[in-house]
Structure 1
């Protein structure tokens, strides 16, 4: 039980390290919380910075989801703890203790968690994201559609119930965090991928 608790807490703290803010500071770029969409994530870093910074941010946020869950799996912890570790890393990105609990929307970190939970489900989810992004050029729409389908992919692949419920939680929270994007999509004011202010 102690190891389980330590892993879950460590996953949250690891997720709380904002790749967007750290990358922008290191590269002398504007704070993504104060520019563009004001979201500290890869899409906004691309908007206020450049592709290199956005790529580093994307990789950093993705690995925040992968590493804690892989560690829980390697330690042989039960599926409930593995699911909670992933959810904790995801919540750390959204509500980082190191940055005033003001984090990103969790797409890259959520995908990292999904990789560690089930790589086949990740491939299906990323494929969905790429298809929607290519067709409509809206990162938020691609994220919402792909995360909506992710639990169905996990269920089809026979994932443990704890992991399935973990992904359902991630999906619900993702939609909650994208309320503004949903409204912008409905209003026709959502910015497309790479579009500057």
Structure 2
């Protein structure tokens, strides 16, 4: 039980690492919270610091979600869903203890959580996100569309899987 509690705290702390904020402060001498949207996440890093810093921040934010989701696998923890660890990383990104509880919107971190939990579902959502981004050139709209698709996908794929199993029972 103590191992689970410490790992849950670790997942939150991993999510709390404000990569964009620290990159801005260390390499660009800028506080992201004073520019653009004021968020410390990937999108504002791209806007304020540029492509290179944005890509590095995206990679870091994305994989901290994936890593936190995979923590129970790495540490042989059973009985609790990996999504709980991922959710704590998302909460850490949104309300980071290392940045006065003012973080980003956790889009990249959430995508990383989905990759860690279900690579197939991640691929489905990535296709939707990038198709929407290609058509509209709007990251925020693409993110909302992918998030909505995720919710609908969870609901409909669940029922689709159930009906497929029922149908398979009647096949010879």
Q: TM-score range by the shorter chain?
A: 0.7 to 0.9
Aligned to 1:24: 24
Q: Does residue 146 of structure 1 match 2:146?
A: yes
The alpha-carbon distance between structure 1 residues 79 and 61, as it changes in their structure 2 partners (threshold 3 A), is farther
Show the 5 A alignment for 1:93-104: 93-104=93-104
TM-score (norm 2): 0.85
SS in 2 for 1:37: coil
Deviations, residues 134-180 of structure 1 (Å, cap 9, x unaligned): 1111111111110111134345279xxxxxxxxxxxxxxxxxxxxxx
Show the 5 A alignment for 1:1-197: 1-78=1-78, 80-154=80-154, 156=157
Whose radius of gyration is greater, 1 or 2?
A: 2
Equivalent pairs, count = 158
Deviation at 1:76, TM superposition (A): 3.4
Q: Using the alignment, how far apart are the partners of 2:158 and 2:112 within structure 1? A: 18
Structure 2 contact 23–53 (Cα < 8 Å) conserved: yes
Structure 1 contact 11–85 (Cα < 8 Å) conserved: yes
Which runs of 5 or more residues in structure 1 are unaligned? 159-197
Q: Using the alignment, how far apart are the partners of 1:68 and 1:136 within structure 2? A: 31
Structure 2 contact 28–49 (Cα < 8 Å) conserved: no
TM-score (norm 1): 0.75
The alpha-carbon distance between structure 1 residues 154 and 76, as it changes in their structure 2 partners (threshold 3 A), is farther
> Of Structure 1 and Structure 2, which has the larger fraction of its residues in helix?
2
Which runs of 5 or more residues in structure 2 are unaligned? 160-172
Deviation at 1:79, TM superposition (A): 6.1
SS in 1 for 2:72: helix
The CA RMSD measured in Å over matched residues stands at: 1.7
Q: Using the alignment, how far apart are the partners of 1:29 and 1:133 within structure 2? A: 30
Q: Using the alignment, how far apart are the partners of 2:78 and 2:148 within structure 1? A: 25
Q: Using the alignment, how far apart are the partners of 2:74 and 2:46 within structure 1? A: 34
Deviation at 1:126, TM superposition (A): 1.1
